[in-house]
Amino acid sequence: MPLFSVEPAKSGILGSGVCNSGDLDPGARGSAALDPGVRDSGARDHEGGEMGVTSLEASGQDGSAVVEFVFLAVLLMVPVVYLIITVGQLQSAAFAVVGAADQAAKVYVAAAEPAAARAAAEEAVMLAMADHGFEAGDVTLAISCSPSDCLSPGSTVSAAVTLRVPLPLVPTIPGVNLDAARVAGQASQLVGRFR
């Protein structure tokens, strides 16, 4: 036994397939509600006419929704993707300067002479920058010691690394600063008493 049944439409105003303005509002007054011969301007009778609805093909709008969607998607997605790339490059730069400063301080305190210590620290910084894909010209290294004799036992060596992070996918223009940010990292190491 079916839960519900559908009966065919009976002839009359609702069965004719024509919707007049008076059909929707049973309390409407006026000639349109009383005279069944008056119909909407775009409607024709049920014998083969249109109902006043304009199709997409007739209006020339066929496929425009896809074009609008693609245009808006590209317009909105390009800045979002560029922002994600920029944030990723800034995060990579943050990892690079922290690792470079740590390695620079470690190799500095392990060296026997100040000149060799400085060269080893600079090499460690350049290696860390190359691992993360940054140029050697964008990084600076500053070494400070407390007390002033850097390699005396018990002294503290601090390495500070600063990296200029350029905007991704933007060519370098001379005289124009196109940096996304400057990222800095610092690390300290003690010179061992027994070497």
Q: How many domains does the chain have?
A: 1
**Alpha carbon distance, N-terminus to C-terminus of the chain:** 96
Give me the pLDDT at residue 130, please.
94
Give me the pLDDT at residue 31, please.
47
Domain of residue 156 covers 64-190
| Per-residue b or e along 135-145, where b marks 16 or more CB atoms closer than 10 Å to that residue's CB | eeeebebebeb
Helix (H, G, I), strand (E, B) or coil at 23: helix
Residue 77 belongs to a domain: yes
Please report which helix (H) or strand (E) contains residue 141, including its range. strand 139-146
Give me the pLDDT at residue 26, please.
53
Residue 144 belongs to a domain: yes
Give me the pLDDT at residue 116, please.
93
The DSSP bridge partners found for residue 162 are: 140, 184
Q: DSSP H helical segments within 111-134, as ranges?
A: 114-132
Regions of the chain with pLDDT less than 50 = 12-13, 15-16, 21-23, 28, 31-34, 41-43, 45, 56
Question: For 186, phi and psi rounded to 5 degrees?
Answer: -140, 145
Residue 43 belongs to a domain: no
Give me the pLDDT at residue 63, please.
73
Give me the pLDDT at residue 173, please.
75
